Amino acid sequence: MCRNITELRGLEPAATREEIEAAAAQYVRKVTGVAKPRPALAQAMATAAQEIADITERLLALAPERRQPPKSVPPLRRPEVRKRLGLAPLAS
């Protein structure tokens, strides 16, 4: 179902809270099938995404280390995505 959510375990440097929250928000949008919610639903979706991000952060801390990094680079680490979203470039 969520084939396009990037793996966050094993990144160097480790996944940031921003990346975890982005993945959680993407998951919530995917399972609800709502990309642009009305205000009432938007708040519920934001709350759910924060709860999922909290759980994900705890889970990543408990997961064993990877022998190899994930095959794909998370979107928030890609310069073209950061530029499109108006985010500052990552420090090299």
90 — pLDDT class (breaks 50, 70, 90): confident
CB 23 within 8 A of CB 6: yes
Digit-coded pLDDT (tens) for 12-55: 888 999 999 999 999 999 999 998 999 999 999 999 999 999 99
Specify the pTM.
0.78
Coarse DSSP helix, strand, coil percentages of the chain, rounded to the nearest 5 percent: 55, 0, 45
CB 69 within 8 A of CB 12: yes
CB 21 within 8 A of CB 28: no
Query: Would you state the structure tokens that stand for residue 64, as one six-digit string?
Result: 């064993």
Q: Kindly report each contact of residues 34-42 with a partner whose C-beta sits within 8 Å and lies 24 or more positions away, as own/partner.
A: none
